[in-house]
Amino acid sequence: MKFIVNSSYLLKQLNAINGVITTNPVVPILENFLFEIAGGTLTITASDLQTSMITELEVEAKEDGSIAIPAKILLETLRNLPEQPVNFSIEESSYSIEISSDNGRYKLSGENATDFPRVPKVSDGYSVNISSDVLEMAISNTIYAASNDELRPSMTGIFLKLDETNATFVATDSHRLIRYRRVDIVSDMSHSMIIPRKALTLLKATLPSEVTNVAMEFNTSNAFFDFKRIKMICRLIDERYPDYENVIPADNENNVTIGKAELLSSLKRIAIYANKTTHQVRLKITGSELMISSEDLDFSNEANERLVCEHDGEDIEIGFNAKFLIEMLGNISSDQLTFKLSAPNRAGLIEPSNKNENEDILMLVMPVMLNNYV
């Protein structure tokens, strides 16, 4: 089996799918790319059993065949080659691979392609089309709030609910919750699924900068994404997602509207002086004044700042984890935001004041118990 391909073009396609390969896979052959040639088209697959990514490119080839090629050594070779055509000669009986370029020849050992796990097919599934920029925005607005706790697998992914009127993306780690809703993504039937965090992180990194259509197919066990000669299939998390709607407080009588940039920069400064374990900051709202303060008793550090805000409701004092607030505010595109609060021991809601007509975003953050300092 022989084929010729441009080194830079091949490297670009390999980089797009390489993120799925883990350093110590369950099955050793998954340290390889699967190369399959049929009719002049090279199909390359990378997998970690849970998620598989596939790319296709045209090559000069006179015969069909397949081989598993070690990913690390191939990538390092291509990264250090100047752009040029490279020749691959593969002896399928011994799985030996020879790469020839203008600079020289490189020999390495591959593996039997038949040992590479088969990528599952999405059969008896449903489909929906999503614009790549909308999908990228939905992932960016939610993925950072997904949990890393493997003991609660349902919360390690993003919950997606599709119906006739909108699509809702939800992520939570029990300390905060993000609900991102789009009215420009609809399905003819109601469906819900939990997509793993790793798969969506890879998908976000691979989506093209130019707007394109992403075809998504799914069934009870897998989701499949197809765009720009890249395909990704991932196993869905087979768990029941928490009833997130019940934790969103309905009666929030304290509304505080403030500029995002000034609040975010103030929090970053005040957080420097907060306890390094709790990251606690105190928000004290009195009339149209917001005082943000923190202290670390272990090192006698403390800081406070006053900001002007629009306040509708009773005076309130509440504590939050500064790291969570900073990360959440950093993902809001609106220049103004509104805090909706009810009591110091109940979750606070953050909503952008300026909203895209097609989107609705709600951020929930749990309070932390205030220290007894004035």
What's the pLDDT at 374? 42
Residue 91 tokens read as 């002896």
Contacts of 144 by beta carbon, 8 Å cutoff, 6+ apart:
171, 327, 331
Q: For each of the chain's 374 residues, which pLDDT tens digit applies? A: 999 999 999 999 999 999 999 988 989 999 999 999 999 999 999 999 999 999 999 999 989 999 999 999 999 999 999 999 999 999 988 999 999 999 899 999 999 999 999 998 877 789 999 999 999 999 999 999 999 999 999 999 999 999 999 999 999 999 999 999 999 999 988 999 999 999 999 999 999 999 999 999 999 999 999 999 999 999 999 999 999 999 999 888 899 999 999 999 999 999 999 999 999 999 999 999 999 999 998 899 999 999 999 999 999 999 999 999 999 999 998 999 999 999 999 999 999 988 788 999 999 999 998 765 44
Question: 249-365: CATH homologous superfamily?
Answer: DNA Polymerase III, subunit A, domain 2 (3.10.150.10)
- Determine the length of the chain: 374
**Beta pairing, strands 191-196 & 230-235:** unpaired
Phi-psi sector, 338: left (phi>0), alpha (psi -120 to 50), beta: beta
Tokens 């000034």 correspond to 262
* Cα of 192 vs its chain's centroid, Å: 18
Question: Does the fold of domain 126-245 match that of domain 2-115?
Answer: yes
How far is the first Cα of the chain from the last one, in angstroms, to the nearest whole number?
A: 76
3-state secondary structure of 156: helix
Domain 126-245 belongs in CATH node 3.10.150.10: yes
What's the pLDDT at 371? 62
Domain 2-115 belongs in CATH node 3.30.110.30: no
For the chain, what are the domain ranges?
2-115, 126-245, 249-365
What's the pLDDT at 253? 87
Q: Answer yes or no: are the C-beta atoms of 39 and 213 closer than 8 Å.
A: no
